[in-house]
Structure 1
């Protein structure tokens, strides 16, 4: 049965360097829309939590691993990582200042207040593509959720992240046997093939069934040691 919540109510609308970003309320749900493209809402979060858990499991017991989370969104991935004492440093890269503000003192604050107060957490306001190309920091895991998938990007510039050169940059900031986890709204055998072709090992896809349509997935790859 489909639940009807009526017409969504816009809570905030901002123009940023990458276009328009909107936060709206639809019944009990909060939704983020970027350039007219639905990104995510607060309805579930299972696949975002899987993104974090699958990366940790693939690290095979590495003590206090550091994780880079690409995309703050509604905060499911950050909150889940911060709730797990096994993680070390938690760095979140988010390019939209509006989204960061909605979490710090806006309508999304109740979802991530504890995580933002955690001393392990750092928020970096930057474009993720630029960050992985330029940073000298390294991490044990990269958990990326900035698009609807490798073939369904929010902005054209993000497409390069899923190409061989972008994945090479991801591998560069990963420590030996570090894990890359990429969220997608649909499976992508082509992306799996690209991961293998650029040298990632133990490539696999984990699925989260949804009520209708294709499952959400997390693509996993391990950098060689």
Structure 2
């Protein structure tokens, strides 16, 4: 018999620095909602894992690369990176303290506890857009997943990340030959064009088919050496 689940159950609701964030359980799934907008759940994770794998593959075997994961979310990208011994350091930038708490001592710990305990992992509580613009660190890969895509941002301020100026800041945060990987709920030819216009090379999009609707996508670009 197929299980039938009632309405989602709210596990935690908080007023964060950028509005309301909610963690809820719907049957076996955990879901994150921000300001009433569904962000993600624990149903799949294929495209989040692709985000990490595609970035590593574009580095052509560079030893011990340092990856920045933008957005902790439900933890799929972090867990996948930490399960791969080839990554040297893993820095995760997450702006919502509630999301970090849910991973450290809440229901999402079941997905990320091992990754958080990995000595390569560092969690930075900061706004990604501000962090990329201000950091003096450089990375081999930026894996960004903070919105539903370049055209569907969680908050208006995030839009600047996908502009020419925002992508130029991403390029500055990358070492020569480093890779920028951006998750999106649908392919964006316009975003590909912006990547090329600001100087990224080998720009391409990898897609992950979904049960209904347009595929998820990972946009990739290489900073010239």
| C-alpha deviation, 1:138, in angstroms | 0.5
Question: Do residues 164 (structure 1) and 155 (structure 2) align?
Answer: no
Q: Match for residue 120 of structure 1?
A: 120
Q: Match for residue 190 of structure 2?
A: 190
Q: Which runs of 4+ in 1 moved over 4 A?
A: none
| C-alpha deviation, 1:18, in angstroms | 0.2
CA distance, structure 1, for counterparts of residue 21 and residue 186 of structure 2: 23
**CA RMSD of the aligned region, Å?**
0.9
| C-alpha deviation, 1:4, in angstroms | 4.8
Structure 1, unmatched stretches of 5+, are none
Aligned residues: 224
CA distance, structure 2, for counterparts of residue 81 and residue 97 of structure 1: 21
Structure 2 SS opposite 1:141? strand
CA distance, structure 2, for counterparts of residue 48 and residue 5 of structure 1: 26
| C-alpha deviation, 1:3, in angstroms | 7.4
CA distance, structure 2, for counterparts of residue 45 and residue 16 of structure 1: 25
Structure 2, unmatched stretches of 5+, are none
CA distance, structure 2, for counterparts of residue 3 and residue 214 of structure 1: 27
CA distance, structure 2, for counterparts of residue 93 and residue 49 of structure 1: 17
TM-score (norm 1): 0.98
TM-score (norm 2): 0.98
Q: For residues 142-178 of structure 1, what are the alpha-carbon distances to aligned partners after superposition, in whole Å with 9 as ceiling and x for unaligned?
A: 0000000000000000000000000000000000000
Q: Match for residue 135 of structure 1?
A: 135
Q: Match for residue 52 of structure 1?
A: 52
Q: Match for residue 146 of structure 1?
A: 146
CA distance, structure 1, for counterparts of residue 14 and residue 141 of structure 2: 31
Q: Match for residue 101 of structure 1?
A: 101
CA distance, structure 2, for counterparts of residue 68 and residue 94 of structure 1: 11
Question: Do residues 61 (structure 1) and 89 (structure 2) align?
Answer: no
Q: For residues 169-203 of structure 1, what are the alpha-carbon distances to aligned partners after superposition, in whole Å with 9 as ceiling and x for unaligned?
A: 00000000000000000010000000000000000
